[in-house]
Structure 1
Amino acid sequence: MEQPNEYSNEHEDRDGVQGTDPNHAGEGAGSSPNRSAEGQAAGDEPAAGDPSADDLIAEAEEVVASAGAALEQELEAARKESADWQDKYVRLHAEWDTYRRRMSEQREEEKLRANEKLVGELIPLLDDFERTIAYAETNGEAGLLEGVRAVSNKLFGALCKTGLEVIDPVGEAFDALSAQAVGTVEDATVPDETVAQVYQKGYRMGKKVLRSAMVTITSGGPKREKPETEE
C-alpha cells in the first residue's frame, strides 16, 4: 500500500495559499482607505441645523447695529445732560452777578442811610449854634461860653450814639497805635513814655482809630515794665 507523498501535499497546500487571487485578497485591505476618505469628505459638510457663514455675518451685523444704536442713544443723553448743566451754570452765574450787584447797592444804601442818620442827629446842633451866636451877640461873652459848652456837649452826645469814643490817654502808657508824640517832658516820678499832656484828643469808632491823639510823653524816669503777653 502506497504512502501519501507528504512533500507533494505540503507543496500543494502552499500553492493553494499562494494561488489565492491577489485582486480578491486586496479588496478587504484596499477598501478601508477609500471609505475613510469618503467619511472625511462627508464630515466637512455642515450638519443639518448648523448656522451658515452668511447667517453668522448677518447676526454679527445685527449685534453691531444694536450696539451702535445704544451707544448713539447714550451719546445723545450725555449731550442733553451737558447742555442742561451748561444752562444751569449760565443761570447760576447770572444769578450770582445779580446778587453781587444787589448786595453792593444795598451796602451803598446802608452807608447813605447811616450818613443820613448822622446828619439828622447833627442838624439840630446847627440850630443850637445859630441860637448861641444870637445869644452871644445880645448878652456878651459869658452867655456865649455857656451856650457853646451846651452845644459841644450836645454834639458829643450825638456822635457817641454812633459809636464814637474819645482817645484821651493822660497818665497812661504811650501807645503809638492810638497816639502821636509831639514832644517830651522831664519827669522822674513816673515811668518813661507816660503820656503827660494831650494837646488834641483822638477818636476811634470800634477798633478803627479815626484820628490819633497828639500828646507829650515823659522821660528821665524808671524804665517801664513790658506788659506780660498772654500765652
Structure 2
Amino acid sequence: MTDDKDFEKNEAPSGAEGSEAHASDPASQDEELTVDDILGAAQSEDAAAADVDAEGADEATDGHLADLQRLTAEYANYRRRTDANREVEKQRAKRDVLSGLLPVLDDFDRAEKHGDLAEGSAFAVIADKIRTLVSRQGVETYGEVGEVFDPQRHEAIFQQPTPGATESTILDVVEVGYRLGDVELRPAKVVVAVPAE
C-alpha cells in the first residue's frame, strides 16, 4: 500500500499546477509563437541589417567623396602648374625671337645714320614694319645721349674725361638697349663722359 501512495505523489500534478509546468516548458513556448511574432522578428532583423548596410554605404560614400576631393585638388594644382609653365615658356620663346631681331634693328639704326633709309624707299618701309612689330610686342629702347650713366642699365665701352662734366653722362650711344617689360634683352652700349680731374 505504501507503494501506491508513493506512486500518486510522483504523478504529474493536475489543474493549475499542471498548466504552470506546461508554460515553463520551452518546447511548448515555441508552439505558442504566432505568425505575427515571427514576421515581426524577421522585419526587425531586416531593419537591423539595413542599418548596418546604410552605415557601410555612408562610410563608402565618405571615402569616395574624399577621393574625389583629393583628385579635384590635384587636378587644380596640375592645371595651375601647367598654366604657369606655359606662360613662362611663352615669355621665353617671345624673348628669344625678339632677341634674334636685335641685330636687324641695329642694322636699321646704322643704315639710318648713314642715310641709307631714304624716306619712302622699300628698305625704309620694311624697317618701319619690323620696328612697329617689335614695339607692339612691348619692346622698349633706352640709352640716349645726355642721360645719366646707370651701370645697372648701361654698359660703358669707353670713358671720356670731359671738362665741365659734374657727373657721368652718356656722350655717345654705340648700341641702343632693349627691354621687354621688366626683362632686359640687351644693355645699352655707351661712351661715358666723366668729370675731368
TM-score (norm 1): 0.42
Greater radius of gyration (CA)? 1
TM-score (norm 2): 0.48
